Copies of this chain bind each other. A is one copy, B any other.
Amino acid sequence: MNNYGTLFRISTFGESHGPAIGVVIDGCPAGLVIDEVFIQAELDRRKPGQSKITTQRKEDDTFKILSGVFEGKSTGTPICIVIENQDQRSKDYSHIQNTYRPSHADFTYDAKYGFRDYRGGGRSSARETAARVAAGAIAKLLLKTVGVEIQAFVSQVGELKAAHYTQLDLSKTEDNIVRCPDASTAEKMIALIDQVRLDRDTIGGVVTGVIKNTPVGLGEPVFDKLHAELGKAMLSINAVKGFEYGSGFEGVTLRGSQHNDEFYTEAGKIKTRTNHSGGVQGGISNGEDIYFNVAFKPVATIMQDQPSVDKDGNETTVSGKGRHDPCVVPRAVPIVEAMAALVLADFYLRTRSSRL
């Protein structure tokens, strides 16, 4: 449920307006240098209020490590990271105590559990993803020791699409507030999101993830294929509606003779000339770039009145209140990276037992 991973394992906890959220990371190998500045930087990429196109809600998202780190290094014991909730305007949410916001988790949580912590969405709030980003930062530190690089960027907002990642300089992702390294498209995206905000509405988008320098051999067939776990990890992020890797949905229109990735040898290494496989063959990494797209729906909270029902099924109206993101994808970039890192870190450890 609230845990993910086989060897590099995380358990997250916390509600939007409870005392704190956090994560316990179990299975991080001992001896890893835990760079707290880096963890904070990752959290800052996700935190609200970072630009005019994100929610203006304020959360510092400063974290505290309660365990598992000694003299700056992981000890092999569980690392607990806690982030206190600061901006707890509970009264903002009292109006939804008995009302189901459209396309939120209010109804289903009540149906499943009998009641819910309704304050700010409680556990179903995207605030929970801060814990993932903190854990993902540690996974990234682990992966860096073997050269794996994980980068994500906004590749689509509404109908506006960036160029294919192979034609972009991903180091420019952080150069603009929408996190799209395609500068001219980025400008249009920002304008669109700003317009959507003025319309008191929201809009969806796509985040593309790229993983470079993955060692050959990661992934555990047949159910825990590398891309299957990546897909699950991405789909577990709030608001995600779809996942594709390599040629994805477009690939279905190709013929096998077009789609197959021809092998060749370069400098003693076996490589492929094309990469429709997206770096994964038979569920196992082949050393090429792993790339994938993650579709995010428009945020359900809009600043408009919407018809709905209350707990007893009576008709009512939900009014848009609070401070929310007109488009979730700029802040989703570090979350996508974090989940990718958690998947890869786990497979990196799991593959250590593939052979004698």
Contact = CB atoms under 8 A, between A and B. Distances in A.
B354 A112 contact: yes
Interface string A229-260: 10111011000011111111101111111111
Given A31-B356, A32-B356, A3 B9 contact: yes
Interface centre among A29, A78, A269, A277 (most CB of B within 10 A): A78
Interface in A58-111: 64-68, 70-71, 73, 75-80, 82, 100, 102-105, 107-109, 111
Interface stretch (A13-21, A44-52, A170-178): A13-21
A309 B265 CA distance: 7
22 contacts: A1-B220, A13-B67, A15-B77, A20-B80, A27-B353, A29-B355, A30-B114, A30-B115, A30-B356, A31-B113, A67-B123, A76-B355, A100-B270, A103-B261, A108-B219, A108-B284, A123-B222, A204-B253, A231-B243, A241-B246, A249-B293, A257-B306
A333 B355 CA distance: 30
B242 A116 contact: no
Contacts of A11: 3, 11, 24, 26, 78
A263 B272 CA distance: 50
Which label, helix, strand, loop or mixed, suits the secondary structure of the A interface? mixed
A225 to B, nearest CB: 5
Contact of A309 (B67, B201, B236, B263): B263
Contacts of A15: 67-68, 70, 75, 77
Interface string A1-14: 11110111101111
A245 B313 CA distance: 27
A194 interface: no
B113 A259 contact: no
Contacts of A308: 262-263
A207 B232 CA distance: 19
Contacts of A355: 29-31, 76, 113-114
Q: How many copies does the complex hold?
A: 4
Given A108-B286, A231-B231, A309-B263, A76 B236 contact: no
B80 A282 contact: no
B223 A285 contact: no
Interface stretch (A34-42, A181-189, A294-302): A294-302
A29 B258 CA distance: 36
Contacts of A245: 241-242
Contacts of A293: 249
A268 B20 CA distance: 38
Contact of A284 (B77, B109, B206, B235): B109
Nearest to A242: B244
A356 B115 CA distance: 12
B241 A297 contact: no
B1 A282 contact: no
A75 B199 CA distance: 36
A241 B247 contact: yes
Nearest to A324: B256
Given A2-B222, A201-B257, A309 B270 contact: yes
Closest 5 CB pairs of A and B: A105-B282, A242-B244, A204-B252, A202-B256, A232-B232
Contacts of A351: 112
